Amino acid sequence: MGNHVKKHSLVNVSEPNLFREMFPYHDIPKLVFESVSVPVNVPDNIWITDTTFRDGQQSRPPYTVEQIVDIFGLLHRLSGPKGIIRQTEFFLYSTKDKEAVKQCQAKGYEFPEITGWIRAVKSDFQLVKEMGLKETGILTSASDYHIYLKLKSDRKKAMESYLDIVKAALDIGIVPRCHLEDITRADFYGFVIPFVQELMELSASYKIPVKVRACDTMGYGVPYENTALPRSVPRLIHGLINDGGVQPHLLEWHGHNDFHKVLANAAAAWLYGCSAANGTILGFGERTGNPPIEALIFDYISIKGNTGIDTTIITDIAEYFTKKIGVVIPPNYPFVGSEFNVTRAGIHADGILKNEEIYNIFNTTKLLKRDIGIGVTDKSGSAGIAHWMNSYMGLQGKDLIDKNNPGVLRIKKWIDQEYENHRTTSISNEELIDLAKKYLPEYFKR
């Protein structure tokens, strides 16, 4: 810990501080605002870490060993030449867990590095050693909700116990990654900062990195710098660095999506000084899930530029999950849903016919191997019908079907009649093909 950091002493209390002004429980959580903000401070290097095989398996049926190895390979491909997805963590307890680790290790990939996750129990370190891992996550719950109500302990005893476990890891040369569970309900200067300062002193003493993962376990974090601790992600990250003495490359953010802020919070962590953002493929994770890896990739590129990442692999990942695992992805799910770039509004379709950039988020054909689509309903108009026909038949240039084509207008009349007869579903691809055969036979034959 640097000399510029003020030493903070642990504040032990007889009764837990549950921040009832923010977390009334019988009402919606409240925001408290501060007048002074904290500065943006993007690290020189930021990256993604993955917890698909740990947190991601706490919300769905467990993956088979074969599926884990396949997904690990997809993560490696998506990581790109610079290893933007730097690490992935595994459970180590069951025979299946261990076999999956061994088969992934056999791939010989530099990225993502395989790390472990264990309880704060000394005997668990033997599992880490047996698997030949250099780093492991350790559960070190930070809030009084966990320390007092769950562990039935107090802050002093909890800190002593955690530090004892961390020393055990350092004694055998394993890099400990301390998971500060429920940090967004924790007493930041009464427990979190004193504990983190002790961790940094241990790191300096042993000359081994000690990592800190700030865990927004219940999704209470917000990305606003003018909200008060412990809910403000910018203030948490700023404080961990400037008051806790944690260097950005040793700091990681792990969030949950209970209040729909999981991606914004992860990006905020990057922007205010945290190097690592933790996520899962498709956002699968405990309850509402974690930051989706595929979304973090796009935010990373937005902040740092593309460093050789092939974003089309995101589509390969989605296809693997749907076809090989049987996952049902909501059609409107960003980047990977079957209809994420499909429009049904006639005015939008008309704009797309003129220039698809007007209503497409980016070149989805180039970046995701996904052509922009038009879903046909009574709201699509002749422009939407014409676009669907042009896309289906692969027509370009002078061969494009105009929205005023007589055949298109006949198809529109048929569709309008369907909805006048109280139809409520969109027109299927099969129906549109039959209509094309009937009213645009000359184009269809081409």
pLDDT digits (tens, 9 = 90+) for 345-375: 655 666 766 788 888 889 998 999 998 877 7
> What is the span of the domain harbouring residue 429?
342-445
* 55 or 427, greater pLDDT: 55
**Residue 280 three-state SS:** strand
Is 255 in contact with 213 (CB distance < 8 Å)? no
95-111 per-position pLDDT tens digit: 999 999 999 999 999 99
Q: How far apart are CA 210 and CA 221, in angstroms?
A: 24
Q: How far apart are CA 64 and CA 54, in angstroms?
A: 13
The whole-number pLDDT of residue 446 equals: 62
The whole-number pLDDT of residue 427 equals: 87
Q: How far apart are CA 94 and CA 360, in angstroms?
A: 46
* 30 or 125, greater pLDDT: 30
Q: Decide if 367 is inside a domain.
A: yes
- Among the candidates 282, 300, 325, a domain finishes at 325
Q: What is the CATH number of the domain that holds 228?
A: 3.20.20.70
The whole-number pLDDT of residue 5 equals: 81
389-420 per-position pLDDT tens digit: 888 888 888 889 999 999 999 999 999 999 99
Q: Decide if 106 is inside a domain.
A: yes
* Same domain assignment for residues 117 and 166: yes
Buried b (16+ CB within 10 A) or exposed e, 236-273: bbbbbbbbbbbbbbbbbbbbbbbbebbbbbbbbbbbbb
The whole-number pLDDT of residue 332 equals: 92
Q: Decide if 35 is inside a domain.
A: no
* Same domain assignment for residues 254 and 293: yes
Is 345 in contact with 380 (CB distance < 8 Å)? yes
* Same domain assignment for residues 59 and 147: yes
The whole-number pLDDT of residue 352 equals: 66
The whole-number pLDDT of residue 353 equals: 64
Q: How far apart are CA 175 and CA 419, in angstroms?
A: 64
316-345 per-position pLDDT tens digit: 999 999 999 999 999 999 999 988 988 766
* Same domain assignment for residues 309 and 350: no
First to last CA, the chain: 72
The whole-number pLDDT of residue 372 equals: 82
Q: How far apart are CA 372 and CA 39, in angstroms?
A: 39
Q: What is the mean pLDDT of the chain?
A: 93
21-75 per-position pLDDT tens digit: 999 999 999 999 999 999 999 999 999 999 999 999 998 899 999 999 999 999 9
Q: Decide if 440 is inside a domain.
A: yes
Alpha helices, H only, 80-185: 95-105, 125-130, 144, 155-171
Closest to 223 in 3D by CA, of 193, 184, 195: 184
Q: Decide if 29 is inside a domain.
A: no
Cβ atoms < 10 Å from Cβ of 410? 15
* 231 or 388, greater pLDDT: 231
In this predicted structure, the answer to whether residue 312 has a pLDDT above a threshold of 80 is yes
* 194 or 348, greater pLDDT: 194
Q: Which residues pair with 89 in a beta bridge?
A: 115
* Same domain assignment for residues 221 and 370: no
* Same domain assignment for residues 133 and 239: yes
In this structure, the chain runs to a length of 446
In this predicted structure, the answer to whether residue 189 has a pLDDT above a threshold of 90 is yes
Q: Decide if 242 is inside a domain.
A: yes
The total of structural domains in the chain comes to 2
The whole-number pLDDT of residue 349 equals: 61
The whole-number pLDDT of residue 357 equals: 87
Q: Is the peptide bond before 223 cis (omega within 30 degrees of 0)?
A: no
* Same domain assignment for residues 138 and 215: yes
* Same domain assignment for residues 171 and 65: yes
In the 3-class helix/strand/coil scheme, how is 6-40 assigned residue by residue? Answer: CCCCCCCCCCCCCCCCCCCCCCCCCCCECCCCCCC
Is 233 in contact with 263 (CB distance < 8 Å)? no
| pLDDT grade for 426, boundaries at 50, 70 and 90 | confident
* Same domain assignment for residues 299 and 219: yes
Q: Decide if 291 is inside a domain.
A: yes
The whole-number pLDDT of residue 374 equals: 72
In this predicted structure, the answer to whether residue 128 has a pLDDT above a threshold of 80 is yes
* Same domain assignment for residues 317 and 349: no
In this predicted structure, the answer to whether residue 238 has a pLDDT above a threshold of 90 is yes
Buried b (16+ CB within 10 A) or exposed e, 327-346: eeeeeebebbeeebbbbbbb
* Same domain assignment for residues 203 and 348: no
* Same domain assignment for residues 397 and 263: no
Q: Decide if 34 is inside a domain.
A: no
